[in-house]
Structure 1
């Protein structure tokens, strides 16, 4: 499964009594689908995968599959040790998911060769297509990346590290490997607020990217995506200056704000997504007010553009 275009990573809403709110989640998904993404990646990082119980995970994935109703692919996060990740993968398959995003193994650091064996173990537990999320303690080298081509269900790499030089080496190693699957293998830009790096990643052959902003300001996210695709440099630079760079500066104010601020933005849009679960912390009232100003500034800039 090779996706092209903008990717949605929906939030997981929690009620005031800390239950997953599936009704709000369904509304959130419909809003995301209306924005026209290439795929829904549920119960992943933005969806607080690590904070969900096995039953909650099942409910979230099953709801996404039901709401999507074949309109676009549903990719479910899975992670932990190889056995645990395999169990989540099996649950996602039972719920009808179209693919998996394999998150880094919890805490454990190893070699790229060890990571490759971990991926083989998870792939053996499911027939679903797998995209490998490279970030934190899950780092591939060229040999391990090419080794992924021998695992038939591994269809791509999502990069969350931001090392363009290293990513270029992986892309080049795979594309020039001579392997029968080399040309079809997918690469995704999965950096937090990927809009800041999309132009650099496009230059090395990674055009598809995830957008957390799509969760709370789909008008800005889709307009930016159109501007990038059309080569509208004025619109890209304006939206970066007026919205994305201020948003990232605020995002960097506290660890975990890559999720917390997105939830705050969704609340500001009128969606009752609730709080984040520990160890994440919610955005402070001051930061939420600042975010509202950034969104307003971004929309004012967007209104003056033709995109």
Structure 2
């Protein structure tokens, strides 16, 4: 059985598109160099931030492969491989192994919640078909599936699931799994506004959409909290970062991350329809939050003039 432990901040990355909303594969290198060059520890393509539900199967493979190639072994890549069918999830996982991904992130089938036993069978079939570590993508808002701490442990014991990205927002459950089920499954934070809480509790890392937009701040925050264990300095940094995270959770996530990338000079194009671009007012508000956090924003002087 494949196992994998992750440490650090992994960026939940976007899928770059052209103005016509076609894949912009060359744009992936720009994203990767921006993220890794500013200290982030890993990449997670093909998740919710990457708009995987709008991509064809072939496009998903192309995006995962392009991110692995662009990373070039500098940091681990966890490729999104969740699907509505077990067959498709196996195909994506097999492709992820072929291209050299370090693990896959798999959300359980999300069109109608399935019983726990059926879900274990789903992950067991993937595990039997492909020997690659699996990160369970805990996203109950979309899947309708709420696992108990004991079920997380059982899933890990019976399959290749060795970690889970928690986007459930239940800090108490996360703490219970982190402290009492860590021998079975690694708990990693995936809820932006709970990053401080998770690292203060002792989590070894997390998947963070904000890390694509403000990678240097996110990497510094992880180092202060998880490595240096300096809560005082961590609180000071969090006062800068938290307003940005709260802002991200106030809008369509893919759209606002794309906007943030444009503001910091590494544009990934628009999101795919039906997601539409955000208003000029939202742009100005986001730009101001970034400026307040000490982040360099493209066109900051023009935005300031408009605000006045």
Under a length normalisation based on structure 2, what TM-score does the superposition of the two structures give?
Answer: 0.85
After TM superposition, give the deviation of residue 12 of structure 1 in Å.
1.0
Number of aligned residue pairs: give it.
Answer: 288
Q: Residue 92 of structure 1 is aligned with which of 91, 96, 101?
A: 96
Which residue of 2 is the match for residue 208 of structure 1?
Answer: 205
Which residue of 1 is the match for residue 14 of structure 2?
Answer: 11
Which residue of 2 is the match for residue 235 of structure 1?
Answer: 233
In 1, Cα distance between equivalents of 2:245 and 2:160: 35
Segments of 4+ in structure 1 off by > 4 A?
A: none
Which residue of 2 is the match for residue 169 of structure 1?
Answer: 176
> Runs of 5+ in structure 2 lacking a partner?
296-308
After TM superposition, give the deviation of residue 34 of structure 1 in Å.
1.5
In 1, Cα distance between equivalents of 2:246 and 2:12: 21
Contact 1:79 1:102 in 2 (8 A): yes
Q: Residue 157 of structure 2 is aligned with which of 147, 150, 162?
A: 150
Q: Which has the higher contact order (CA 8 A, sep 6+)?
A: 2
SS at structure 2 position matched to 1:291: helix
Judging changes above 3 Å, is the alpha-carbon distance between structure 1 residues 213 and 143 closer, same or farther for their aligned structure 2 residues? closer
Which residue of 2 is the match for residue 139 of structure 1?
Answer: 146
Judging changes above 3 Å, is the alpha-carbon distance between structure 1 residues 147 and 21 closer, same or farther for their aligned structure 2 residues? same
RMSD of equivalent CA atoms? 2.3
Judging changes above 3 Å, is the alpha-carbon distance between structure 1 residues 72 and 294 closer, same or farther for their aligned structure 2 residues? same
Question: 1:174-213 residue pairs with structure 2 within 5 A?
Answer: 174-175=181-182, 182=183, 185-191=185-191, 193=192, 196-202=193-199, 204-213=201-210
In 2, Cα distance between equivalents of 1:104 and 1:4: 23
Which residue of 2 is the match for residue 179 of structure 1?
Answer: none
SS at structure 1 position matched to 2:49: coil
Q: Residue 244 of structure 1 is aligned with which of 242, 251, 271?
A: 242
Q: Does 1:278 align with 2:277?
A: no
Q: Residue 43 of structure 2 is aligned with which of 27, 31, 40?
A: 40
Contact 1:3 1:38 in 2 (8 A): no
Judging changes above 3 Å, is the alpha-carbon distance between structure 1 residues 71 and 241 closer, same or farther for their aligned structure 2 residues? closer
After TM superposition, give the deviation of residue 234 of structure 1 in Å.
4.0
Which residue of 1 is the match for residue 131 of structure 2?
Answer: 127
Judging changes above 3 Å, is the alpha-carbon distance between structure 1 residues 117 and 131 closer, same or farther for their aligned structure 2 residues? same
Judging changes above 3 Å, is the alpha-carbon distance between structure 1 residues 165 and 138 closer, same or farther for their aligned structure 2 residues? same
Contact 2:213 2:257 in 1 (8 A): yes
Judging changes above 3 Å, is the alpha-carbon distance between structure 1 residues 56 and 283 closer, same or farther for their aligned structure 2 residues? same
Judging changes above 3 Å, is the alpha-carbon distance between structure 1 residues 231 and 205 closer, same or farther for their aligned structure 2 residues? closer
Contact 2:78 2:102 in 1 (8 A): yes
Which residue of 2 is the match for residue 178 of structure 1?
Answer: none
Could you list the per-position Cα deviations for residues 180-233 of structure 1 after superposition, in whole angstroms to 9, with x for gaps in the alignment? xx26x4221111x2xx32343245442311222221222222222233233434
Could you list the per-position Cα deviations for residues 136-166 of structure 1 after superposition, in whole angstroms to 9, with x for gaps in the alignment? 1232223322222333522111111121222
In 1, Cα distance between equivalents of 2:94 and 2:172: 35
Under a length normalisation based on structure 1, what TM-score does the superposition of the two structures give?
Answer: 0.85
SS at structure 1 position matched to 2:16: coil
In 1, Cα distance between equivalents of 2:286 and 2:65: 32
Contact 2:40 2:216 in 1 (8 A): no
Which residue of 1 is the match for residue 114 of structure 2?
Answer: 110
> Runs of 5+ in structure 1 lacking a partner?
176-181, 301-307
In 2, Cα distance between equivalents of 1:152 and 1:79: 15
- Which range moves more in the overlay, 224-233 or 206-215? 224-233
